[in-house]
Amino acid sequence: MPDPRPDPASAARAIGQAAPRALALIGALLGRQAAAPLSLDWLRSQIRSSDLREHALRIGTSTVHVLYLFTIVDMERLAEDVLRPLEQGPAQPLAVLARAEAAATDAQALEALLNGRALVIQSTADGARAAVAVDVVKRPARSVSPPNASTILAGPRNAFIEDLTVNVGLIRSIVTTPLLRVEECTLGTVSRTPAVLLHVEGRCDPDHLRRVRDALASVRTDYVLSDITPGSVTWQSGYTPFPLSLRSERPDVVAGKLFQGRLAIFVQGSPFALVVPATLLDVHLSVEAPLGSPLITTFIRVVRLAGIGVGLLCAPLYVALLGVDPTVVPPLLLTTIAATRQGLPYPVTLETLLMLGILDAITIAAEVAPGALGQALTIVGSLIIGQAAVQARLTSTLMVIVLSLVLIGNLLVQDLRLAYALRLVKYPLVLLASLSGLIGLAAGVLMTGIHLCSLKSLDIPYLTFVAPTDWRTIRKNSLWTVPRKVR
Amino acid sequence: MFVLVALASVCTTSFGFPRLHGDLGRTVWLAGVAQAATSLLGAWAVGKVRAAGGDAPLVEVVGAAWGGGAARAYLLAVAAYLLLWPPIAVFPVTVTTVESSLIPLAPSWQVALPLIAAAAYAAWFGPEVVGRLAELALWVIAPVVLIAAIVPWSIVDPRLLWPPVAAAPVRIGPEFAAYAFSLRGFVAALVLPVSAPRPGDLTRPAVLATVSAWLVVNLLFVLPHGIFPALSLPHITNPVLYAVDSIPTRSLAIHSLLAAITPVWFGIAVFSTAVATWSAAELLRQASGAPRARWPLALAVGIDLASLWPDLWHRLPLLAGSWSLYGLVVAVLAPWLLVAGARRRAPALAPA
């Protein structure tokens, strides 16, 4: 039987014949760049991890080193696109060339390694070294799936994932204009997390673009693990709980904002895009179902806006009217309410603060608890605690109704950051209402309004659309925008 | 700017001239017309001054016409007028409005202190933020004003208000002068420190806002005074509101509703105080040459807080009449002198 093992002599001949082609490949990949003195020892000392693999191939008078991190590299592609061409000559040189770029310095070589590229380092007899980085990355990622942060009733059901390339691809599939610009950057001085900035040229404000670029370049944190960090470090002021950017996992929403002249930031590892500038209405009203009819859309928007008011003012109004200014309430209604509160051991303010605190605790717990446990918590909170507290005369039935309205108001706010901001603002309003009744509540609401009016996302006032009033946008997006007849 | 000036104008309408209706009766509309004329005159002059100066600070504009020292003195005079306006007119009127509703009586400072706090917070950010807040609040205030204007008419028993005759005018006294000439000087003074990037930018909104406010005020308050007899109106605030005391119980809900919207008037008072505080601080800053308005703002807030002292609280409103005439001089007549002076001394600054 013939020996299945290759004849060493013939193998050497094959390598010898392939060597010029392999070296020619490397030469083509490098182009005319001068060889920089890359240090293999330095690269090895920087990584020092067990998942670093190295192959040394002798090709002619050169030694070719192939370095890669096997945990983030597609081994099949590595063998097909790197090792086999080096050993046998490139079968598909163009395919390899498309995924390769030169790494001229140690820092570039290190970054390429850490981003899932295979480093092919050629060392010549005179000690010169040159390197190319071939993209064979394979990061663990889930497939495109429906969004988790919102329920889609009508509209596209795909959402961003943690892979930057896939996310940009989702945007490209919607925004097919050649004017879409994708600018790469890295964030985090230690983590070196890849990020991209997207905008449509000619649509976005050049000043906004410049400011966002400067802001991203000024991120000085050690590590960036999600899209929140760029926003919190740069344009999100620490003095306001209200979000100054739109955070979305829906490609259709982000694409729409890009066409409106906004900028989108994607960070590797985050399934959300950060869109700036964003007003309060962008944050709150960006995800309503595109049901077509302006009447229905307006109705949904009005209900959701009213939800903010109800969620925010219900509890403080309860304290103001029952605790401080009961004479404002019509006598018949006041008598009914007084009967429900008979026997309660503490004043209205304390009852309200206590129950609001319990409600927020249950809501936050339900948000972080896994599926079934979250449902159980909801049942516990609504049926057991609410009903039991009323029967034990620790709270009134009216308070339970108020809490229900507050919860409904909170749930109508889809942006989690905005929902938490409104929950936070509720407590000072309750305290002001307890001090001065309706007047104190009015002062608190005004101060909240002043704070909102003072906010700007980049240089766009946060309440643009109502303050300053943008009648053109109102007209284009509201009840009386009726589609023209098709001729 | 339009919304802000309109709201400020509505707030500064006097609610507290109990003898005015008794004096003028059905011809109380004269006071309204005089108010409008004063307002338009002042707004027109201020608009001309700002249009001539462009985006130059007011102290330079006035200095070009009257000289540096006189300019600073004038700015200080207007600032003093604006600084004392909230304690003299706004706070007492707001407290009276709140006390006349179903909201339980409370110490005056319990109403004034939140007002001062909210106004100071708004003034800190300047007129741009206050203007935006005014636009935002208009979505709430406009329906409330409509409710306050229309709802009482829907439930009033006209038999109690008939016959619709009023006493003949007795005299045009000091109350008339104070009501007619007072508050519009405030409106004009508000516009003075604000620079105009383009000529005519401020004249039109200031004039339109003043006319709109005059219309609202006269429809809501002056017109009823002119229709109903004095004997059926024990209080001057809102004759229809007080007439509903005698109507069926179901209207108590309306009473509650009207009382519940009292905070809206409180909100209007906050706008008025905020913009007056900022304007006064800006005028003081320009007059003193300070780079920032921090200390003038602190001074303004300090004066507002000091006015809560019981002795001052009861005495300051007595100055309303004379302070109104002071405002007429500094904010309505003086700008016309400025315009004339500008033409004579600095033709380049003369309005087109």
CATH code for the domain of B256: 1.20.1740.10
CB distance from A450 to chain B under 8 Å? yes
Task: List the single range of A49-63, A114-128, A244-258, A405-419 with lowest mean pLDDT.
Answer: A114-128
Please give the residue that has the higher pLDDT: either A5 or B19. Answer: B19
Q: Of all helices (H) and strands (E), which one includes residue B322?
A: helix B320-327
**Which residues are registered as beta bridge partners of A118?**
A134
SS3 category, A121: strand
For the cut 90, the answer to whether the pLDDT of residue B104 exceeds it is: no
Q: In what side-by-side order are the strands of the sheet with A52-59?
A: A52-59, A62-69, A117-123, A129-135, A100-102
CB count, 10 Å around CB of A142?
Answer: 10
Instruction: Tell me the range of A185-194, A248-257, B19-28, B149-158 where mean pLDDT is highest.
Output: A248-257
CB–CB of A454 and B125 under 8 A? yes
* Minimal CA separation from A327 to chain B, in Å: 6
Contact (CB, 8 A) for B233 and B26: no
Domain that holds residue B226: 2-349
For the cut 70, the answer to whether the pLDDT of residue A231 exceeds it is: no
CB–CB of B110 and A442 under 8 A? no
* Minimal CA separation from B262 to chain A, in Å: 8
Spell out a b/e string for A406-435, using b for 16 or more CB atoms within 10 Å of the CB, else e: bbebbebbbbebbbbbbbebbbebbebbbb
Name which of B104, B139, B260 is nearest A466 (Cβ-Cβ): B139
CB–CB of B136 and A453 under 8 A? yes
* Minimal CA separation from A148 to chain B, in Å: 34
Q: If you write DSSP's letter for every residue of A253-298 in order, what string do you get? A: HHHHHHHTT-EEEEETT-S-EEEES--HHHHHHTT----S-HHHHH
CB count, 10 Å around CB of A233?
Answer: 17
Residues 6+ apart with CB under 8 A from A206: none
Name which of B121, B135, B259 is nearest A468 (Cβ-Cβ): B135
| A146-191 per-position pLDDT tens digit | 766 666 666 677 888 888 888 888 888 888 888 888 888 888 777 7
* Minimal CA separation from A288 to chain B, in Å: 23
Q: Which of B143, B134, B84 is nearest to B303 (CA)?
A: B84
Section B307-329 average pLDDT? 77
* CB-defined contacts A:B, below 8 A: 96
**Whole-number percent of chain B with pLDDT over 70:** 49
Mutate to test the interface with A, among B1, B11, B103 (most CBs of A within 10 A): B103
For the cut 60, the answer to whether the pLDDT of residue A9 exceeds it is: no
For the cut 60, the answer to whether the pLDDT of residue A222 exceeds it is: yes
For chain B, the domain total comes to 1
For the cut 60, the answer to whether the pLDDT of residue B75 exceeds it is: yes
Return d(Cα A216, Cα A197) in angstroms, integer. 9
Q: For residue B59, what pLDDT is reported?
A: 81
Crossing angle of helices B262-288 and B68-85, in 10° steps, is 160
Return d(Cα B320, Cα B15) in angstroms, integer. 12
Q: Which two tokens stand for residue B256?
A: 């509650």
Q: For residue A319, what pLDDT is reported?
A: 93
Q: Which of A149, A421, A152, A139 is nearest to A308 (CA)?
A: A421
Interface predicted TM-score (ipTM): 0.76
Name the band, by pLDDT with cuts 50, 70 and 90, for residue A32.
Answer: very low
Please give the residue that has the higher pLDDT: either A76 or A11. Answer: A76
Q: Which two tokens stand for residue A470?
A: 């943008």
For the cut 80, the answer to whether the pLDDT of residue B162 exceeds it is: no
Name which of B102, B110, B122 is nearest A328 (Cβ-Cβ): B102
Q: Where are the beta strands (DSSP E) in A387-441?
A: none
Q: Which two tokens stand for residue A132?
A: 């190319």
| B25-67 per-position pLDDT tens digit | 555 556 666 666 776 777 777 777 777 776 677 788 788 878 8
Return d(Cα A58, Cα B40) in angstroms, integer. 94
Q: For residue B224, what pLDDT is reported?
A: 54
Residues of A within 8 A of B110 (CB-CB) are: 435-436, 439
**Whole-number percent of chain A with pLDDT over 70:** 73
Q: For residue A287, what pLDDT is reported?
A: 56
Q: Is the dihedral of CA A200, A201, A204, A207 positive or negative?
A: positive
Return d(Cα B40, Cα A198) in angstroms, integer. 52
Q: For residue B235, what pLDDT is reported?
A: 41
For the cut 50, the answer to whether the pLDDT of residue B250 exceeds it is: no
Q: Which two tokens stand for residue B148?
A: 């306050």
Return d(Cα A403, Cα B231) in angstroms, integer. 49
CB distance from A443 to chain B under 8 Å? yes
Crossing angle of helices B58-66 and B334-345, in 10° steps, is 60
CB–CB of B136 and A441 under 8 A? no
Name the band, by pLDDT with cuts 50, 70 and 90, for residue A220.
Answer: confident
CB distance from A466 to chain B under 8 Å? yes
Return d(Cα A447, Cα A400) in angstroms, integer. 28
Whole-number average pLDDT of chain A = 77
Return d(Cα B93, Cα B86) in angstroms, integer. 10
CB distance from A240 to chain B under 8 Å? no
Name which of A330, A432, A442 is nearest B256 (Cβ-Cβ): A330
Please give the residue that has the higher pLDDT: either A477 or B324. Answer: B324
Residues of A within 8 A of B260 (CB-CB) are: 328, 438
* Minimal CA separation from B245 to chain A, in Å: 14
Q: For residue B212, what pLDDT is reported?
A: 58
For the cut 60, the answer to whether the pLDDT of residue A88 exceeds it is: yes
Q: What is the 3-state secondary structure (H, E, C) of A33-83?
A: CCCCCCCHHHHHHHHCCCCEEEEEEEECCEEEEEEEEHHHECHHHHHHHHH
Residues 6+ apart with CB under 8 A from A42: A106
For the cut 70, the answer to whether the pLDDT of residue A14 exceeds it is: no
* Minimal CA separation from A212 to chain B, in Å: 24
Q: For residue B246, what pLDDT is reported?
A: 42
Give me Rg for the CA atoms of chain A: 31
Residues 6+ apart with CB under 8 A from B350: B52, B339, B342, B343
Return d(Cα B278, Cα A121) in angstroms, integer. 68
CB–CB of B129 and A449 under 8 A? no
Name which of A440, A461, A468 is nearest B114 (Cβ-Cβ): A440
For the cut 90, the answer to whether the pLDDT of residue A244 exceeds it is: no
Omega into A277 within 30° of 0, i.e. cis? yes
Contact (CB, 8 A) for A476 and A294: no
Return d(Cα A435, Cα A319) in angstroms, integer. 10
CB distance from A469 to chain B under 8 Å? yes
Q: Which two tokens stand for residue A314?
A: 């219900």
Crossing angle of helices B68-85 and B294-306, in 10° steps, is 40
Closest Cα in chain A to B108: A436
CB–CB of A453 and B263 under 8 A? no
CB–CB of A468 and B262 under 8 A? no
Q: For residue B309, what pLDDT is reported?
A: 80
Q: For residue A428, what pLDDT is reported?
A: 93
